[in-house]
Structure 1
Amino acid sequence: MRLGVPRASPPCLRMAVLNWIGLLALRGNPKNFTVSGPLLPLLDIMIEKMNVCVDLVVPSDLQYGTQLDNGSWTGIVGQLASKKVDMSGVPVLINTKRNKVVDPGFPVMGDPVSLSYIRPAQRADLAGFVKPFTLQVWSSLLAGLVVVLVGLVVVQVSDARLYEHNISAKESQAGKREALWAALQWTVAAPLAQAWWREPREGQVRLLAGIWLLSSFVLATVYRSNLKAMLILPHFNLPFNSIDEFLQTDIKCFVVESSVVHESIKASTPGTALHRMKKQLIVHTEDQLAVKDFLEGKYAGMAGYYSLLTVVQFSFDKTKTCRYYVADTLFGSLTFSFLFPKGSKLKPKVDYIVSTLKDTGIVDHLLRTNVQEAKECVQSQASITLDTTLRPLALGDFFGVYFLYGAGILTAIFAFLMELCLR
């Protein structure tokens, strides 16, 4: 494909281009293709300022550049190293290996590498009624219920034995069943906030039932409050927000073959989080399929922040909703620039044009203005993570409440004793 109108003698400059999600989109096969995207106006400006025509060339292997075992290079870097093209038509990340075979131009953009995935949706939870308490609290509540039930039965049966000589064996058995039934009712009714018409009369039974009633009142009040808070302020647990959290899931992640992300993972030290990501990677060059799978929530996407914003923007334009989130930055900001063969005389001209466009803000304007809604979507994800502070209550959460009630009871006992002393 040719860009620009030649005003000078041919041949035209040859630029190596490749699909970059959100920056430059190639449609068709390497021999017959069209290009679009926010990078295209930048290329048009550069071509106009240099007063040349340009032939766009797509590498047959569809790679940015990987060094093979024999020392040769694939993709765009390989074309530049062999001087088959005059420069790259897309900004490419520079690293130590590539610096040895090509010359990087003036930095065009900085872009951190991030991890993105579909946002969790609020769904009905059939087990939601047990979530206000942790398993430890529920276990303690069940244990307390059993202890109180047994205690009430034992106390009532012990008191009934004092009068067994005045009643028959049949009446004694009936009394034991009645004591068990009454203890069961007193034990279960209190946590359920239900009244029971029979009141305990014996002193020991009244004491034990009173303690259980007070404990049940505290538990039921806190349970209802926390359950109401969970229902009124629904929260979403993000599947992951870092590489370590991602590794604890079974979610697959797409990366572009020979991209900076792929190269970084391949070169990572064994045992590190990046190295362990290999088992969850889906690596290929089919960008359109990758975007489709990402939008459907099949895979997470690991790429430059700008590329992820572009995909989020594409989804927003179609649905008018923020369906995806971007995890915390994984790598620091990476610098991308156009590449040139070693000793290229074209490099100073392009560097001057790019630096001027950068200083005037034109580059940032071309690359950022079409993702404004996506930025808002990503920034608004803070409202999701803030609600994750809601959690099941643990035993320690009740200490303050019990301390308050205990202080009130001690104060009442002290007042009662003072009244007895002053009489």
Structure 2
Amino acid sequence: MSNMSSKPCLKLGIGTYLPYMIVSGPDDNPIVGGSQPVVLDIIFNHLGYCYEYVVEPSRAGGIKLPNGTWTGVIGLLLRGGIDMTGIGMALTHDRYQDLDGTDFLYIDGWSAGFKTPVLQSDISGFIKPFSGYVRSIVGVLVTTWFVHMARETIVSPRNPRAGESASPSDNERHGTPSVTDESALWTIAVFLAQSVTKMPRGNSVRVMTGVWLLVSLILNTVYRSNLKAMLILPKIVLPFDSTEELAESRIPTWVPRGSAMHTAGLKSPPESALAKILENSNSLDVPTDVPWGISDTIAGKHAMTSPRASITYIMHTTFSKTGQCLLYTMSEDLVGMVQISILLRKGSPLKPKLNSVIRRLREFGILDHEYKKQVANATECLKPIGSRGTRKLRSLDLGDFYGVFMLYAGGALMALVSFLMELVLRNAKLSVEPDSDIKHETAEDSTPSRMKLPHNRSLDLSTKE
């Protein structure tokens, strides 16, 4: 592809960098798409240059070899095969030393994407409505304990008069209560709608307990209304959501050779997370194959390390075709923000001319406008996974009730164990009581001074003949 004018034509080295430039077809007649061709048309129409695309066979950005030479598009640029890169590339430290970069087109960060995890039933969903009540219960428990303790401290029990014995009712009414036990009983039992055997002592404690009765009624009513919603809400387990989690997961990763991620991993300490991710890479020993990397990422065979813009474009494409979000991207960055610029040879006279136009395109929002046109359908997939498809109804299945079933089975098992323990203790007690009676009788009969004889006769063993 070329744009003809009266000025000499510039040769632009190109390669695939989603969504800015998408190169397909043969090298001698490439098909170029994305947002960058539109930007290049604007730039060179304004400057009055014609240009033509030159496809480097590997279609890779290029890396610096130990002997100081470069491969890919950058190597072609330094050898004089092209005048500049036609696609913005990350301006790393090595590239900055050997090349000049224009004003940045975009600022992008490197992240990792993976197949969207399957939604699972949350067996703990029936507990979630109580999650917001813990502080309330603790606050009421502390308040009740404080009020109860203050009352027992201020109001001392009356002592019976001399010569009078305290009746059981007086002891029950004026005895020293266990403040902590009763406070916990009145707070937790009332909240769980269980009967309380003891009446709160004193008006202050009764008022506090009465207010808590009313509040518990309201809270439990809200719980019942929210229970179904919490059961329907699915559980999502992400394979990784940070650099450390990706390194520990040992999931194979697709890392484009010569990319900013590749360079950062090579320069990282051996025990760092980036170095471990690079060890798990399955793409560094083979030529860069973008379609293969994307298809295996969607299939869940490996994770894809890529600029966020590229992952966003893949989300846009898959959602446009299937109506589903097949990928998710982790919330953290692997490398951080990198500057995407057009690269030129050192001292190129084109740099000030390009900077002037690029700066105005960026400030007027034209660059962002062309980029967003390429990823318009990725909006739904960029939402948090739990909030995607909130309008879609999901019916309850058996897995949603596993938590309730486990709670019921656990209660039934505890009741059975308690019943069996009662039987064992009762039988043990009954077996111990007869044995003690027999031993007592045997001890009494084994030490008499007379031995009983038939016909009411007895022999005095202590009498000497």
| TM-score when normalising by structure 2 | 0.58
What's the counterpart of residue 271 of structure 1?
A: 271
The aligned runs of 1:279-298 (5 Å cut-off) are: 279-283=279-283, 284-298=287-301
- 1:384-406 deviation line (CA, Å, top 9, x unaligned): 8xxxxxxx99xxxxxxxxxxxxx
The aligned runs of 1:252-271 (5 Å cut-off) are: 252-271=252-271
- 1:171-227 deviation line (CA, Å, top 9, x unaligned): xxxxxxxxxxxxxxxxxxxxxxxxxxxxxxxxxxxxxxxxxxxxxxxxxxxxxx999
Q: Does 1:363 align with 2:376?
A: no
What's the counterpart of residue 117 of structure 2?
A: 120
**1 CA distance for matches of 2:126 and 2:294?**
36
What's the counterpart of residue 353 of structure 2?
A: 349
**1 CA distance for matches of 2:281 and 2:241?**
17
What's the counterpart of residue 438 of structure 2?
A: none
Deviation at 1:129, TM superposition (A): 9.4
- Say whether the 8 Å CA contact 1:111–1:304 is kept in structure 2: yes
The aligned runs of 1:273-422 (5 Å cut-off) are: 273-283=273-283, 284-330=287-333, 331-381=335-385, 383=387
**2 CA distance for matches of 1:287 and 1:378?**
22
| 3-state SS, counterpart of residue 111 of structure 1 | strand
Deviation at 1:377, TM superposition (A): 1.8
Amino acid at match of 1:308: I
What's the counterpart of residue 45 of structure 1?
A: 42
Instruction: Give 1:89's match in structure 2, choosing from 86, 90, 99.
Output: 86
Deviation at 1:358, TM superposition (A): 0.8
What's the counterpart of residue 15 of structure 1?
A: 12
Deviation at 1:62, TM superposition (A): 2.7
Deviation at 1:295, TM superposition (A): 2.2
- 1:281-318 deviation line (CA, Å, top 9, x unaligned): 12241111111222222222111011100000001101
- 1:115-146 deviation line (CA, Å, top 9, x unaligned): 11121113579xx69998xxxxxxxxxxxxxx
What's the counterpart of residue 2 of structure 2?
A: 3
Instruction: Give 1:24's match in structure 2, choosing from 18, 21, 24.
Output: 21
| 3-state SS, counterpart of residue 282 of structure 1 | coil
| 3-state SS, counterpart of residue 381 of structure 2 | helix
Amino acid at match of 1:304: P
Relative to structure 1, the CA distance from residue 130 to residue 340 in structure 2 (aligned partners, 3 Å threshold; closer, same or farther) is closer
Q: Does 1:78 align with 2:78?
A: no
| 3-state SS, counterpart of residue 322 of structure 1 | coil
Amino acid at match of 1:263: T
**RMSD of aligned C-alpha atoms?**
3.0
Relative to structure 1, the CA distance from residue 18 to residue 129 in structure 2 (aligned partners, 3 Å threshold; closer, same or farther) is closer
Deviation at 1:112, TM superposition (A): 0.9
**2 CA distance for matches of 1:358 and 1:333?**
17
**2 CA distance for matches of 1:95 and 1:261?**
10
What's the counterpart of residue 152 of structure 2?
A: none
Relative to structure 1, the CA distance from residue 66 to residue 273 in structure 2 (aligned partners, 3 Å threshold; closer, same or farther) is same
- 1:220-244 deviation line (CA, Å, top 9, x unaligned): xxxxx99978633221111111122
Deviation at 1:95, TM superposition (A): 2.2
| 3-state SS, counterpart of residue 107 of structure 1 | coil
- Say whether the 8 Å CA contact 1:22–1:306 is kept in structure 2: yes
- Say whether the 8 Å CA contact 2:14–2:86 is kept in structure 1: yes
What's the counterpart of residue 201 of structure 1?
A: none
**2 CA distance for matches of 1:369 and 1:69?**
40
- Say whether the 8 Å CA contact 1:3–1:44 is kept in structure 2: no
**1 CA distance for matches of 2:121 and 2:93?**
52
**1 CA distance for matches of 2:83 and 2:37?**
18
Larger Rg: 2
What's the counterpart of residue 64 of structure 2?
A: 67
- Say whether the 8 Å CA contact 2:64–2:70 is kept in structure 1: yes
**1 CA distance for matches of 2:230 and 2:239?**
19
Amino acid at match of 1:307: S
- Say whether the 8 Å CA contact 1:80–1:102 is kept in structure 2: no
Relative to structure 1, the CA distance from residue 130 to residue 34 in structure 2 (aligned partners, 3 Å threshold; closer, same or farther) is closer
What's the counterpart of residue 202 of structure 1?
A: none
What's the counterpart of residue 238 of structure 2?
A: 238
Deviation at 1:366, TM superposition (A): 0.5
**2 CA distance for matches of 1:97 and 1:323?**
35
- Say whether the 8 Å CA contact 1:81–1:342 is kept in structure 2: no
Provide structure 1 residue ranges, at least 5 long, that are not aligned to the other structure.
133-224, 385-391, 394-423
Relative to structure 1, the CA distance from residue 129 to residue 382 in structure 2 (aligned partners, 3 Å threshold; closer, same or farther) is closer
- Say whether the 8 Å CA contact 1:28–1:34 is kept in structure 2: yes
Provide structure 2 residue ranges, at least 5 long, that are not aligned to the other structure.
128-223, 389-402, 405-465
**2 CA distance for matches of 1:366 and 1:309?**
14
Identity %: 29
Amino acid at match of 1:342: K
